[in-house]
Structure 1
Amino acid sequence: MMDALWDFVSHMERDFERIFSSYEKWQVIGGTVIVTLLALFLKDLFYNLNDVWEDLKSWVFRMARKIPPIRNYISDQLDASRKEIEKGMFEDAADDDVPYLKVLPSEGWSKEEVIRVASNVLGGGKYDWKEGKISGGAFAGSDESYSALLVDMFGRYSLANPLHADIFPGARKMEAEIVRMTISLFKGGPEHCGCLTLGGSESLLMACKAMREWGREKGVRTPEIIICYTAHSAFDKAASILGMKIRKVRADPRTFKADLQAMERAITKNTVMLVGSAPQFPHGIIDDIEAIGQLGLKYGIPVHVDCCMGGYLLPFMEAAGYSIAPFDFRVPGVTSISADTHKYGNAPKGSSVIMYSRPEYRHLQYFVTPDWPGGIYATPTIPGSRPGGLVAVCWAALLSHGFSGYTEAARNIVRTARTIKSLISDIPELQLMGDPQAGIVAFTSDKVNILKVGDLMNQRGWHLTYVQYPPGLHICLTSLQATHDFAKNLANDLKKTLAELQQTSDLAVSGIGKVYGTAATIPDKSLIGEAAKIFLTCYYDTGFKEETSSKDI
């Protein structure tokens, strides 16, 4: 065997010598370098075909938008969108008794005046969120004594700043206890650690920052994060801020779970993080965290579990009587987990916890400036000064519920969600999107325009969440909806809406449904981005009214 191999190598050597004998040595070396670089380029191109295609499409659309007639048409359409958004936004907020304030009052208001105006604008929305017909907009608020507790706690710590732990030791202690209690829920041990953040987006950004630094220590200069396209958009935000690259893989079209084979194919030498959702927001589906953890172990890549949505729901499901696949630190390969306390934890916005399997990872998320003239500047997360009041109310929320309180809430929420799943499955025109196990139920239709269903449900007082790619609707259940008749009422209104659609098949899509329907037909997604930025700009406008003096209120 070895003799045959040696003969083959010797034969190949003689062939190479014969082929290249007519070339100078520098030509052979130069040619080898060129071929090697070309091979590396083609390999990189192969792994980035999707990125190349997206870049090409963006370039084509960008060039087309420079053509004067097209540019003018787009400008006119965006301006019309701005006016429509402003009209709807200011009509919703219109109140002749409470005009917009545009300058500071010349004299400070009295306490009674501040409270009067604040009370007038408090109920300005067109949805009564306490009725529970909104999808995930509020997670608590029906218990007046609980609300009073939070108000009292915030008042006691409203001026506290955890940045100055020596001045406000109570806030620091509460913060450390929130993190440790959350780690225990996710089956972490003494070596596990974490930080309190101001929300899920910051928690995800911190995890991405830590893994970016982890990659840099290993020589990775263009760090990449692999996520399913159903993962939260906060990963896109984090990557944009941190200069990282997102690789999005498809979801299984039947289960809506992250496609593990696609995820493995997307792994490169630059990959610094694999992401699984528990659950993801659009469809409420929990990815196969155990399998993603195994991928992380196989390739030596950290795995993050985004449990922001399920943070204070999933850990209580087993105790509530519902089986669930492992999603926490029991899963080998999981290095970080994010969990929002301001969702199912029923704490006021905004608070969240980012957790790590080892202190070394948390160490990488810190921000430190050792040579600033103002002193050594160090913060665990993005903000410097932080509101101690939010720490206090989060701490109070956790302690007032306790394990039994959250378990009972989980039992009611999941029971309601599964009742809705069953009732929707019995409606011929609707189909569930996957098999959600927690508090979100998504559905679509291959028989009717689901966007029209959403519009008509809005007219019935419902505020369901629109999802896209493919289009659908979802309901995010909270304690406000965990009542015995909620699922039945939702199903009955869906049936009435579908019957109405059959009688008025020519009904045009309007409102938010029109926005999503239009977005799906526009190939240049940058235009959708421009329209979204117009909405954000209108958010800070103060209307078309003449300048209003504070004394006129």
Structure 2
Amino acid sequence: MSLFLSRVNLPVLSPTGRNFWENVKTAVVVYIIFTRLVKTERHVRARGIVHSVVDVYKSVVQETLLLALRFPAARKKVENELAKARLEIEKKLVPQGPGVTRHLSLPDQGHDTDWIIKEMAKMDEESGSHVDWRDGKVSGAVYHGGEDMQKVIIAAMERYCVSNPLHPDVFPAVRKMEAEIVAMVLKLYNNPNGAGTTTSGGTESIIMAVKTYRDWARATKGITEPEMVVPITAHAAFDKGAAYLGVKVHTIPVHPETRQVDIKRVRRAINANTIMIVGSAINFPDGNQDDIFALGKLASKHKVGLHVDCCLGSFIMPFLEEAGFPVQPFDFRVEGVTSISCDTHKGSSIIMYRDAALRRYQYYINPDWVGGLYGSPSIAGSRPGAIIAGTWAALQYMGHSGYLESCKQIVTAAKTIARRIKSEIPELRILGNPPASVVAFASAHESELNVLEVGDAMSKKGWHLNALSKPAAVHIAVTRLTIPVVDQFIADLKDSVREAQITPSGKGTMVMLYGLGQSSAVGPTMVGHIAEAFLDTMYKA
């Protein structure tokens, strides 16, 4: 072997060649370090030094605790607790007992309409604690416009129950209705010459906005590592869209009193990779509105997109001024606003853009598919035309005057609730100054009252309210169904505050679930496992 090697002429790099490759390696290392430093600087600038240090600390503690939980004894204890939680969830959601009929395979022969209707009624009975949403005790969730309106929607949906907008040549009326819905909402938000599409709901509208700005920034700015800046109170759909589409999210705190996003922190978070910033009008957690005018100035200055989430504000925010309520500017009249999402009906939403050129980045087009040229405006391919028909019918039935009157009644009810909590229940405080339909309340003194105990006490009285965190709070989203029961809500709330002060149970759903989330560094992980169990149970027949 040594004789063979001695006869082989191995290449030897000259000093110049060695220096070249050493310089290349040095340049690569410097580039990697530089890019990491730039990313770190942007991250710290967006979150602040204190918050960044806290994030690192929490991450280290969480990883340490999760590592400890891998030991058999600790893991078994956690698994036992999670198993108990799963059983509790199943008891609440899945009908139990020998009398429950389960339909786990196709019937040998099809059933007639009478049998189907009776079986549905039986399923309602088997479910036990079926909530009667008509009593007005459900926060949001059900947006009922009355029996007459329901009949109009059902008639429209029945007429177009098998229609599919994917084939506009087969269902031209549905295509026309869809285009008219978008046009009506664009005009309502003061952009009649803009562009938009329908979607299956607010979440899809938001995800479509994220996709649009990601692709727009890649095509026009060459951004391959996109980032977005959102208030901490923005809807979780923004985080969901970012997770699906590979966009980094910077969450910005809100002012503790106004509940509006901190504009200075938004400004600091914007960098060369920012594709969009976000404002809410109104936000879901506490019903407050961000300073859209200030956000618009930032968006214009830095040439980034500004999406305004009006999914919850929908057909209330555009009518506030005419109805005589104070409102800050929020729609396309604000310079810098480039897109808005607005829910039109359950299962139906609109994503609007300032112009058609921006909307094109939302589209998906595949000219090379063997099935033929494929193009779709949003996530869905085939879509239920019945939903579009029902939405169109609802808009025509309500009209401008109907929505204006509905706005007056709903917002009056919400402001009455806020005013009476302030004047009659000193143990609670209202979060911010909500302009529309959502009112959130927290404990005036957290050491004296756990507001989540109040929420659990309200649940026992039949109210279905939403629990919040950061800070712990409870909110009610007022609908037309809430209007007749405002007095009952206040009376029950007063009783619930007294019960939470005198005999706190510590075992209610809000207290236990949200308490677990704040209990330790691994609390959010445990809550995540419970959420997974809940989602699994949703599909347990």
The answer, yes or no, to whether TM exceeds 0.5 is: yes
The counterpart of 2:162, out of the listed 159, 163, 169, is: 159
The counterpart of 1:64, out of the listed 65, 68, 71, is: 68
Match of residue 204 from structure 1:
206
How many angstroms does 1:45 deviate by? 1.6
Match of residue 42 from structure 2:
47
Deviations for 1:381-401, whole angstroms, at most 9, x for unmatched residues? Answer: 111110010000000000100
Matched position secondary structure for 2:106: coil
1:98–1:120 CA contact under 8 A, matched in 2: no
Amino acid at match of 2:84: A
1:131 aligns with 2:131: no
**Which stretch of the first structure deviates more once superposed, 46-55 or 437-446?**
46-55
The structure-2 alpha-carbon separation of the partners of 1:26 and 1:114, relative to structure 1 and needing over 3 Å to count, comes to closer
1:520 aligns with 2:518: yes
The structure-2 alpha-carbon separation of the partners of 1:61 and 1:45, relative to structure 1 and needing over 3 Å to count, comes to farther
**Which stretch of the first structure deviates more once superposed, 50-59 or 180-189?**
50-59
Normalized against structure 1, the TM-score is what? 0.87
**Which stretch of the first structure deviates more once superposed, 166-175 or 102-111?**
102-111
The structure-2 alpha-carbon separation of the partners of 1:94 and 1:372, relative to structure 1 and needing over 3 Å to count, comes to same
Match of residue 482 from structure 1:
483
1:366 aligns with 2:368: no
1:264 aligns with 2:267: yes
User: Among the aligned pairs, what percent are the same residue?
Assistant: 40
Matched position secondary structure for 2:518: helix
The structure-2 alpha-carbon separation of the partners of 1:420 and 1:203, relative to structure 1 and needing over 3 Å to count, comes to same
Match of residue 185 from structure 2:
182
The counterpart of 1:245, out of the listed 243, 248, 261, is: 248
Q: Distance in 2 between matches of 1:361 and 1:162?
A: 22
Amino acid at match of 1:475: I
Amino acid at match of 2:387: L
Q: Distance in 2 between matches of 1:183 and 1:94?
A: 48
Deviations for 1:166-218, whole angstroms, at most 9, x for unmatched residues? Answer: 0000000000000000000000032x100000000100011000000011111
The structure-2 alpha-carbon separation of the partners of 1:73 and 1:393, relative to structure 1 and needing over 3 Å to count, comes to same
The structure-2 alpha-carbon separation of the partners of 1:27 and 1:155, relative to structure 1 and needing over 3 Å to count, comes to closer
1:503 aligns with 2:502: yes
Amino acid at match of 1:529: G
Matched position secondary structure for 1:42: helix
2:516–2:526 CA contact under 8 A, matched in 1: no
How many angstroms does 1:353 deviate by? 0.1
Deviations for 1:237-263, whole angstroms, at most 9, x for unmatched residues? Answer: 111111111111111112211111111
Amino acid at match of 2:516: T
Q: Distance in 1 between matches of 2:25 and 2:534?
A: 56
2:288–2:435 CA contact under 8 A, matched in 1: yes
Q: Distance in 2 between matches of 1:61 and 1:213?
A: 39
Q: Distance in 2 between matches of 1:250 and 1:502?
A: 30
How many angstroms does 1:36 deviate by? 6.5
Deviations for 1:208-229, whole angstroms, at most 9, x for unmatched residues? Answer: 0000001111111111111011
The structure-2 alpha-carbon separation of the partners of 1:114 and 1:37, relative to structure 1 and needing over 3 Å to count, comes to closer
How many angstroms does 1:61 deviate by? 4.5
Consecutive unaligned residues in structure 1, runs of 5 or more: 1-23, 343-348, 543-553
1:451–1:514 CA contact under 8 A, matched in 2: no
Q: Distance in 2 between matches of 1:376 and 1:28?
A: 50
How many angstroms does 1:54 deviate by? 6.3
How many angstroms does 1:501 deviate by? 3.3
Match of residue 4 from structure 1:
none
Q: Distance in 1 between matches of 2:435 and 2:321?
A: 12
The counterpart of 2:402, out of the listed 400, 405, 422, is: 405
Amino acid at match of 1:394: T
The structure-2 alpha-carbon separation of the partners of 1:98 and 1:117, relative to structure 1 and needing over 3 Å to count, comes to farther
Matched position secondary structure for 1:341: strand
Deviations for 1:430-461, whole angstroms, at most 9, x for unmatched residues? Answer: 11111111000000112311111111111111
Match of residue 391 from structure 2:
394
Q: Distance in 2 between matches of 1:29 and 1:101?
A: 67
Amino acid at match of 2:416: T
1:129–1:137 CA contact under 8 A, matched in 2: no
Deviations for 1:88-129, whole angstroms, at most 9, x for unmatched residues? Answer: 223xx4586552211221111111101111233346443221
How many angstroms does 1:64 deviate by? 3.4
The structure-2 alpha-carbon separation of the partners of 1:398 and 1:168, relative to structure 1 and needing over 3 Å to count, comes to same
Match of residue 230 from structure 1:
233
Q: Distance in 1 between matches of 2:301 and 2:281?
A: 21
Match of residue 296 from structure 1:
299
Match of residue 173 from structure 1:
176
Q: Distance in 1 between matches of 2:323 and 2:218?
A: 43
Q: Distance in 1 between matches of 2:38 and 2:71?
A: 36
The counterpart of 2:374, out of the listed 353, 377, 400, is: 377
Match of residue 474 from structure 2:
473
Match of residue 535 from structure 1:
534
Q: Distance in 1 between matches of 2:532 and 2:150?
A: 34
Match of residue 546 from structure 1:
none
Deviations for 1:59-93, whole angstroms, at most 9, x for unmatched residues? Answer: 44543343333332222221221112112223xx4
Consecutive unaligned residues in structure 2, runs of 5 or more: 1-18, 45-51
The structure-2 alpha-carbon separation of the partners of 1:518 and 1:435, relative to structure 1 and needing over 3 Å to count, comes to same
Q: Distance in 1 between matches of 2:369 and 2:187?
A: 37
How many angstroms does 1:482 deviate by? 2.2
The counterpart of 2:93, out of the listed 80, 89, 96, is: 89
The structure-2 alpha-carbon separation of the partners of 1:110 and 1:57, relative to structure 1 and needing over 3 Å to count, comes to same
1:422 aligns with 2:419: yes
Q: Distance in 2 between matches of 1:94 and 1:69?
A: 32
Q: Distance in 1 between matches of 2:260 and 2:203?
A: 21
Q: Distance in 2 between matches of 1:138 and 1:52?
A: 41
The structure-2 alpha-carbon separation of the partners of 1:496 and 1:177, relative to structure 1 and needing over 3 Å to count, comes to same
2:516–2:527 CA contact under 8 A, matched in 1: no
1:278–1:305 CA contact under 8 A, matched in 2: yes
1:451–1:509 CA contact under 8 A, matched in 2: no
2:156–2:390 CA contact under 8 A, matched in 1: yes
Deviations for 1:324-372, whole angstroms, at most 9, x for unmatched residues? Answer: 1110000100110000012xxxxxx200000000112110010111101
Aligned-CA RMSD value? 2.1
The structure-2 alpha-carbon separation of the partners of 1:26 and 1:180, relative to structure 1 and needing over 3 Å to count, comes to same
2:281–2:309 CA contact under 8 A, matched in 1: yes
**Which stretch of the first structure deviates more once superposed, 31-40 or 70-79?**
31-40
Match of residue 77 from structure 1:
81
Match of residue 453 from structure 1:
454
Matched position secondary structure for 2:300: helix
**Which stretch of the first structure deviates more once superposed, 215-224 or 73-82?**
73-82
How many angstroms does 1:475 deviate by? 0.5
